[in-house]
C-alpha cells in the first residue's frame, strides 16, 4: 500500500502544463481540502491516472475559459457503495475538474484508465439527466473500483473522479458521520 500526496501531484501537473502549453492558457483555480495529506492506495495507478487525466484536461481545454480543480473528502456514499458491491470505504475522495472549456469524452477516459490497468465495466446514465457514471475495475483485482462521472450542465462540463479509500488510520470524525448526515447518491 502506497501513500500518495495528490496535492503535490496536482501542483506538478499544473506547473508542467504551464511550461509546456504554447500560446494562451486557461486560468486554473485549485481547491484542496487541508486534511488530505497522503492518500493510501494499493499502488502507483492513482498517481499515474491523476497526473495524466489532469494534464490532458488542461492541455486540451479552451484557453478562454477558466478551469476549476478541487480535491475533497466526501461523506459516506452508501448508495454508490451498494451499487458497486464494495465494502464500506473509510471515506470517499472526490477529484473534480470543471469548466466551460473542458473537452473530455468517454473514449479518452477509457483509454486513460486502460493505461493504468483499469477496465470499463459499464457506463450508466439516467433518463432526463446529462450525467453519466463510469465504473472501472482494476484488471488484476476486479473488486478494486474507481468511479468516474461526466456531467454537462448549463455549458459547464464537470468530471468527477470518485475513489473509495480504505484507510485503517483514518480519523474517525471523517469516517462515520452521524446517521442524519450521511448522503445518498452524488
Tell me the average pLDDT of the chain: 85
What average pLDDT does the segment 70-88 reach? 82
User: Is residue 114's pLDDT more than 50?
Assistant: yes
Question: pTM, whole model, 2 decimals?
Answer: 0.84
Fold of 2-181: Heat Shock Protein 90 (3.30.565)
List the chain domain ranges: 2-181
Q: Name every residue whose Cβ is closer than 8 Å to that of residue 171 and which is 6 or more positions away in sequence.
A: 35
Contact present, 95 and 83 (Cβ < 8 Å)? no
User: Confidence class of residue 170 from pLDDT cuts 50, 70 and 90?
Assistant: low
Higher per-residue pLDDT: 96 or 77: 96
Amino acid at each position: 500500500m502506497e501513500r500518495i500526496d495528490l496535492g503535490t501531484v496536482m501542483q506538478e501537473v499544473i506547473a508542467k502544463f504551464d511550461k509546456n502549453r504554447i500560446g494562451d492558457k486557461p486560468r486554473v483555480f485549485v481547491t484542496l481540502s487541508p486534511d488530505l495529506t497522503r492518500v493510501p492506495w494499493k499502488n502507483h495507478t492513482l498517481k499515474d491516472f491523476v497526473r495524466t487525466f489532469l494534464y490532458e484536461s488542461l492541455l486540451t481545454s479552451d484557453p478562454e475559459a477558466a478551469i476549476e480543480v478541487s480535491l475533497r473528502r466526501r461523506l459516506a456514499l452508501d448508495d454508490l457503495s451498494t451499487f458497486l458491491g464494495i465494502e464500506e470505504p473509510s471515506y470517499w475522495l472526490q477529484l473534480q475538474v470543471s469548466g466551460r472549456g473542458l473537452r473530455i469524452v468517454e473514449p479518452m477516459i477509457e483509454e486513460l484508465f486502460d493505461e493504468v490497468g483499469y477496465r470499463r465495466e459499464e457506463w450508466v446514465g439516467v433518463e432526463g439527466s446529462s450525467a453519466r457514471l463510469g465504473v472501472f475495475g482494476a484488471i488484476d483485482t476486479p473488486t478494486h473500483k474507481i468511479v468516474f462521472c461526466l456531467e454537462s450542465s448549463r455549458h459547464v462540463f464537470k468530471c468527477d473522479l470518485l475513489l473509495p479509500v480504505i484507510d485503517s488510520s483514518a480519523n474517525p470524525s471523517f469516517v462515520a458521520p452521524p446517521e442524519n448526515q450521511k448522503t445518498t447518491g452524488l
